[in-house]
Amino acid sequence: MQDDLLNILSNSNKEIDNQKLMDYLSNQLSDKEKHEFEKELIDSEMLSDAVEGLESFANKNDVSLFAEQLNKNLQKQLRKKKQRKERRILTNMQWVYFAIVLLLLIIVISFLVIGTHLKLK
């Protein structure tokens, strides 16, 4: 469970030490380390936002469940977007094929009409 909590920000920003962040939130840092972390907190807006968001969870188990839910929702949205894009490409190609066939038919009919019109004269 603790590993899941440490992976919350794993791909986000390399400046953030996830272990230090979780230790800070659970009050496991010494006073000196806590002071150094708070200095970093002042300098980094992203880190301060992360701490603020994670502090809003009363139960640390909620953090991992929330992260899992966010990941599932993100994957679902990305899948839907990809499917829509693929459908759009296929429907656009059908219109291109239809337009090409229609133009060819118009050209053939025009050629036949002009050819028969010239033969009559």
Q: Which is more confident, 12 or 70?
A: 70
**Number of Cβ within a 10 Å radius of residue 5:** 20
**51 close to 25: Cβ distance less than 8 angstroms:** yes
**7 close to 22: Cβ distance less than 8 angstroms:** no
Q: CA 102 to CA 7: how far, in whole Å?
A: 57
**37 close to 29: Cβ distance less than 8 angstroms:** yes
**CA nearest 70: which of 58, 81, 62, 60?**
62
Q: Which is more confident, 98 or 6?
A: 98
| Global confidence as pTM | 0.42
CA 116, chain centre distance (Å): 61
Characterise 29 by phi-psi region: left (phi > 0), alpha (psi -120 to 50), beta (else).
beta
pLDDT of 64-107, one tens digit each?
Answer: 677 778 889 989 999 999 888 887 776 667 888 899 999 999 99
**CA nearest 24: which of 43, 11, 5?**
5
